[in-house]
């Protein structure tokens, strides 16, 4: 029984509706990815600092904008670290790597709204702003467990489940 099953079992046991595990995980992963002091909640300051650091690390040639190569290279580095920890077969990892890299190119195209093949801080920050707002359900500038629960419930309702 993994953590998700335990969670679902606990939720059912307390008589609440079952939370869809995927949305729950996305919210938790969002906090975990940027929660620099590890207290389980993400302040706007933590998020902004982590995003700024990531932008700087991604901008390998330091020209103030991310090229498609820089964007894909940064993702690939992070993804390889995840893969290294995974116990999937080499064949499955190769498949997953190919798929993820393809998606990263697509994501760059989506972020690059004016198609100049560059993502400057303005585009980067706009996307970050939107992602944070999407997770911060009660709009208090902190993404915490209560927001994840609320966002999960809202998405469930939106899907009509
Ligand atoms: Ca924190
Ligand atoms: Ca650059
Ligand atoms: Ca909040």
Residue 66 CB coordination number (10 Å) = 26
| Distance of alpha carbon 75 from alpha carbon 147, whole angstroms | 27
How close is the Cα of 77 to the center of ligand 2, in Å?
16
**Are the beta carbons of 146 and 28 closer than 8 angstroms?**
no
Taking 50 as the pLDDT cut, the residues of the chain under it are 1-18
Domain count for the chain, please give it: 1
How close is the Cα of 137 to the center of ligand 1, in Å?
17
| Distance of alpha carbon 56 from alpha carbon 18, whole angstroms | 40
Angle between helices 68-85 and 90-111 (to 10 degrees): 150
Which ligand sits nearest to residue 133's alpha carbon?
A: 3
What's this model's pTM, rounded to 2 decimal places?
0.74
The kind and range of the H/E element at 14 are none
Q: Which residues surround ligand 3, an ion (CB under 5 A)?
A: 136, 138, 140, 142, 147
Q: Which residues surround ligand 1, an ion (CB under 5 A)?
A: 35, 37, 39
Which ligand sits nearest to residue 71's alpha carbon?
A: 2
Q: For residue 143, is it left (φ>0), alpha (ψ between -120 and 50) or beta?
A: beta
Which ligand sits nearest to residue 70's alpha carbon?
A: 2
Boundaries of domain holding 148: 3-158
Q: What is the pLDDT of residue 88?
A: 94
Q: What is the pLDDT of residue 42?
A: 98
Residue 151 CB coordination number (10 Å) = 20
How close is the Cα of 35 to the center of ligand 3, in Å?
14
How close is the Cα of 8 to the center of ligand 2, in Å?
44
Four-point Cα dihedral 41, 43, 48, 49, nearest 10: -70
């Amino acid at each position: 029984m993994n953590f998700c099953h335990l969670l679902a079992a606990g939720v059912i046991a307390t008589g609440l509706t079952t939370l869809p595990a995927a949305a729950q995980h996305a919210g938790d992963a969002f906090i975990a990815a940027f929660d620099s002091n590890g207290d389980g909640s993400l302040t706007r300051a933590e998020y902004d600092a982590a995003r700024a650091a990531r932008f700087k690390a991604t901008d390998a040639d330091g020209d103030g904008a991310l090229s498609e190569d820089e964007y894909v290279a940064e993702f690939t580095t992070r993804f390889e670290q995840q893969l290294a920890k995974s116990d999937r077969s080499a064949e499955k990892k190769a498949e997953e790597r190919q798929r993820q890299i393809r998606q990263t190119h697509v994501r760059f195209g989506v972020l690059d709204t004016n198609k100049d093949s560059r993502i400057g801080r303005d585009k980067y920050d706009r996307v970050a702003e939107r992602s944070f707002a999407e997770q911060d359900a009660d709009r208090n500038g902190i993404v915490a467990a209560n927001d994840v629960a609320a966002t999960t419930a809202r998405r469930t309702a939106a899907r009509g489940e």
